[in-house]
Amino acid sequence: QKEVEQDPGPLSVPEGAIVSLNCTYSNSAFQYFMWYRQYSRKGPELLMYTYSSGNKEDGRFTAQVDKSSKYISLFIRDSQPSDSATYLCAMNPPQGAQKLVFGQGTRLTINP
Amino acid sequence: DTGVSQNPRHKITKRGQNVTFRCDPISEHNRLYWYRQTLGQGPEFLTYFQNEAQLEKSRLLSDRFSAERPKGSFSTLEIQRTEQGDSAMYLCASSLVDRGRNIQYFGAGTRLSVL
């Protein structure tokens, strides 16, 4: 079993829809949670990060962390065709190498 | 451009050849990471540096792989005697560790194709 599980999709929604992306994890030591967006043949671009449990909002994006359920989410409101990309969740513990452990990534397409 | 820079962007090589990639991190960042990403998968950790010291290597990093970060600035990743299974995107990330927070910023990656 992988440390971080993420549905690879693909997920296709109409423009303007609310998108929900999710990851589950097994390592309770994870404290920092990140969402990266990756366009085809590009490097991952940091969208948001949260520490421990709670919500964080940045424009059309909202990240949620539920440590009790080991479940994190990213919501995209008023989705745009330019949001079409692969979304990667990542997390790391607060000590040591703090290497990121990634989910598989969810491929999202927003249809005009 | 003050982001993480990687060169070359794409490398095509024949099996058995040696290749070297370079990463220039964000200037004030003290940590530098290498990851590998294959098609349809998330990046996987290879190794990392704290300043010039290489502190951890993944089991994915066979003895054909070597990484350096002289003077704690740019880093190079060399693969000797390349194999077709080495074909992947090699990503570099840098970060500034601050009170436990370690937010990593990635470069555009080097795509390696081994023929």
Q: Which residues of A7-38 are buried (b: 16+ CB within 10 A; e: fewer)?
A: eeeeeebeeeeebebbbbbeeeebbbbbbbbb
pLDDT at B1: 52
Q: Is A93 helix (H, G, I), strand (E, B) or coil?
A: coil
pLDDT value, residue B3:
93
All residues of chain B having their beta carbon less than 8 Å from the beta carbon of residue A104 are: 40-42
- Give me the mean pLDDT over the A22-36 stretch: 94
Q: What residues of chain B, 71 to 90, have a C-beta less than 8 Å from chain A?
A: none
Phi, psi of A105 (to 5 degrees): 95, 140
Please give the pLDDT value at position A38.
97
Contact: B56, A97; criterion CB under 8 Å: yes
User: Is residue A41's pLDDT more than 60?
Assistant: yes
Tens of pLDDT, residue by residue over A47-105, are 999 988 889 999 999 999 999 999 999 999 999 999 999 999 999 987 878 899 999 99
User: Are B112 and B37 contacting, i.e. CB atoms less than 8 angstroms apart?
Assistant: no
User: Is A110 in the B-facing interface, judged by CB distances under 8 Å?
Assistant: no
Question: CB contact, 8 Å: A52 with chain B?
Answer: no
pLDDT band at B65 (very low <50, low <70, confident <90, very high): very high
Query: Span A5-27, mean pLDDT?
Result: 95
